[in-house]
């Protein structure tokens, strides 16, 4: 009974903080994922993201991240914008998740508040919060907690809101009633994401060669973008939403309610010329607390130059 009570408390507090969905899974070794991850790394699908090859055991077992971990709480936070920035063929395009303030800051603050409020109501327990900031296989844990299934583009898909959302986790040493995992794959025979990817990054259902993904090429890759991708980037200057935009499940996307995710006013009217002529001063002003800080001004200029 205590375990059920804890689950209800966690989900109520998560909802109060604006999380759209909350699922719970029992912490343990992700046995089915181990060979898949090993194969993916051996094929160098992680490209220059060397950090993905680190902490192999921790990535598969949350009990190695948090001592005595018993439960993984997975949370969904919507970022689908009410108004999209220009996305015509000739426009330079920005992934929707990067319109506003960097989600790491926004959601981590909410997770810390959530953890504190849970301890206040339940009593003290151990745990850590995670927002794409440690070796946690967040999509797999979200699936295990019933929040969705892994689509052919490898993203978590939720039947009620598609995939335009962030995932976050609490890993805690409290035993909580777990939800049933999502077993069914609702993609069926649809291959729209595979067919639409201009760089052929989705090599098979559920497997993405990260080194060919436009998001990787414009954000993670610190070297020059390989010439083979010239003319294939479809004007994405930071990130890419192609495989999400074509996904039928994203017809269910609803507008987010997070003011922090609204774009800087200057960004709303950005033209191709503005991207090309951007100074470092403008970059620092418009993207002051943005995810674009990850690629830095020099990286963004490199992307723009490659698209010319």
Tens of pLDDT, residue by residue over 219-235, are 999 999 999 999 999 99
Q: What is the largest CA-CA distance in the chain?
A: 62
The predicted structure's pLDDT at residue 220: 96
Residue 195 and residue 199: Cα distance in Å, rounded?
10
A 10 A CB-CB count for 267 gives 17
Q: Which residue numbers are catalytic?
A: 132
Residue-wise pLDDT tens digits, 237-282? 999 999 999 999 999 999 999 999 999 999 988 899 999 999 999 9
The predicted structure's pLDDT at residue 26: 98
Percent of the chain residues past pLDDT 70, beyond the cut: 100
Average pLDDT score over residue span 5-21: 98
Residue 135 and residue 125: Cα distance in Å, rounded?
22
151 pLDDT above the threshold of 90: yes
Query: What does the DSSP 8-state code read for residue 147?
Result: S
To the question of pTM greater than 0.85 for the whole model, the response is yes
């Amino acid at each position: 009974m205590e375990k059920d009570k804890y689950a209800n408390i966690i989900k109520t507090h998560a909802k109060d903080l604006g999380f759209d969905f909350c699922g719970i899974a029992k912490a343990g070794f992700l046995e089915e994922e181990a060979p898949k991850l090993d194969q993916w790394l051996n094929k160098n699908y992680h490209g220059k993201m060397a950090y993905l090859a680190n902490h192999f055991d921790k990535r598969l077992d949350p009990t190695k991240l948090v001592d005595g971990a018993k439960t993984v709480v997975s949370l969904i936070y919507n970022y689908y914008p009410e108004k999209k920035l220009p996305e015509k063929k000739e426009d330079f395009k920005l992934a929707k998740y990067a319109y506003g303030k960097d989600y790491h800051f926004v959601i981590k603050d909410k997770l810390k508040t959530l953890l504190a409020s849970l301890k206040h109501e339940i009593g003290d327990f151990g745990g850590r919060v995670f927002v794409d900031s440690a070796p946690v296989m967040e999509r797999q844990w979200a699936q295990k907690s019933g929040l969705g299934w892994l689509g052919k583009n490898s993203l978590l898909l939720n039947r009620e809101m598609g995939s335009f959302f962030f995932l976050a986790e609490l890993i805690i040493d409290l035993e909580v009633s777990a939800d049933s995992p999502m077993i069914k794959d609702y993609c069926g025979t649809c291959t729209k994401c595979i067919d639409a990817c201009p760089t052929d990054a989705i090599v098979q259902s559920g497997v993405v060669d990260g080194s060919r993904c436009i998001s990787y090429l414009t954000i993670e890759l610190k070297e020059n973008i390989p010439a083979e991708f010239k003319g294939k980037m479809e004007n994405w200057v930071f990130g890419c939403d192609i495989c999400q935009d074509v996904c039928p499940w994203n017809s269910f996307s609803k507008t987010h309610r997070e003011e922090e995710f609204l774009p800087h006013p200057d960004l709303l009217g950005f033209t191709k010329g503005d991207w090309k002529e951007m100074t470092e001063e403008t970059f620092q002003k418009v993207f002051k607390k943005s995810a674009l800080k990850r690629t830095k001004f020099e990286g963004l200029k490199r992307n723009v130059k490659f698209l010319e």
